[in-house]
Copies of this chain bind each other. A is one copy, B any other.
């Protein structure tokens, strides 16, 4: 799978939203439903816990041909042999990370505006996560830029992009129409009793 295809449905397991399932269990079910990428993000875990969680999730991703990305912790991503890292504005700068990773290792960045999108691409990002598309409970204090905001960021990029923030089966077609290659989802998927089914419904509603 190439990166653009792998970005179609990125599921981010979440301890709270997905409780009582573990992050691994959430990832497994999402992959069964057709998730093309799993992103490991858990600010409460220390490096050791993240590493051990990563090496437990990776085999399921490999088996399904899905990508595995670690949020923030490039060291965990490298040590666990993940496919890449996703860096937000509180994480390492993209250019500093880029200099230290092997060829082919994916570096994703977050953009909340066209300016940030342009900067991320110039810094060497392989893809951009654009958001927040819609309001969501997962992240506070993050500006909601709406579908039009997503479209504006996509318009300045030549690298692939995913939309993130409040995306579910009811609104996924709107953001896909804005030109992104896929979506990153948390609560709308991992809080469902049937995570695999939620991924399937999301996919069915993407419109392409």
Tell me whether A1 is interfacial, beta carbon within 8 Å.
no
The interface residues of chain B lying within 8 Å CB-to-CB of A90 are 46-49
Whether A93 contacts B51 in the complex (CB less than 8 A), given A74-B79, A75-B74, A79-B99, comes out as yes
Determine the main DSSP class of A at the interface with B: helix
Which residue of B51, B75, B97 contacts A73 across the interface (Cβ within 8 Å)?
A: B75
The interface residues of chain B lying within 8 Å CB-to-CB of A208 are none
Q: In the complex the two chains form, is B74's CB within 8 Å of A97's CB?
A: no
Q: Chain B residue with minimal CB distance to A51?
A: B92
**B-contacting residues of A (Cβ < 8 Å)?**
46-49, 51, 72-76, 78-80, 87, 89-93, 96-97, 99-100
The interface residues of chain B lying within 8 Å CB-to-CB of A99 are 79
Which residue of B80, B92, B100 contacts A96 across the interface (Cβ within 8 Å)?
A: B80
Per assembly, the copies of the chain total 2
Q: Chain B residue with minimal CB distance to A52?
A: B93
The interface residues of chain B lying within 8 Å CB-to-CB of A97 are 75, 79
Q: In the complex the two chains form, is A47's CB within 8 Å of B79's CB?
A: no
Report the bound CA distance from A108 to B93 in whole Å: 25
Whether A100 contacts B72 in the complex (CB less than 8 A), given A92-B48, A93-B48, comes out as no
Q: In the complex the two chains form, is B51's CB within 8 Å of A79's CB?
A: no
The interface residues of chain B lying within 8 Å CB-to-CB of A76 are 75, 92
Could you give 14 example pairs across A and B, Cβ below 8 Å?
A: A46-B91, A47-B72, A47-B74, A47-B92, A48-B92, A49-B90, A51-B96, A73-B73, A74-B75, A74-B78, A75-B75, A75-B76, A75-B92, A79-B93
Report the bound CA distance from A44 to B47 in whole Å: 14
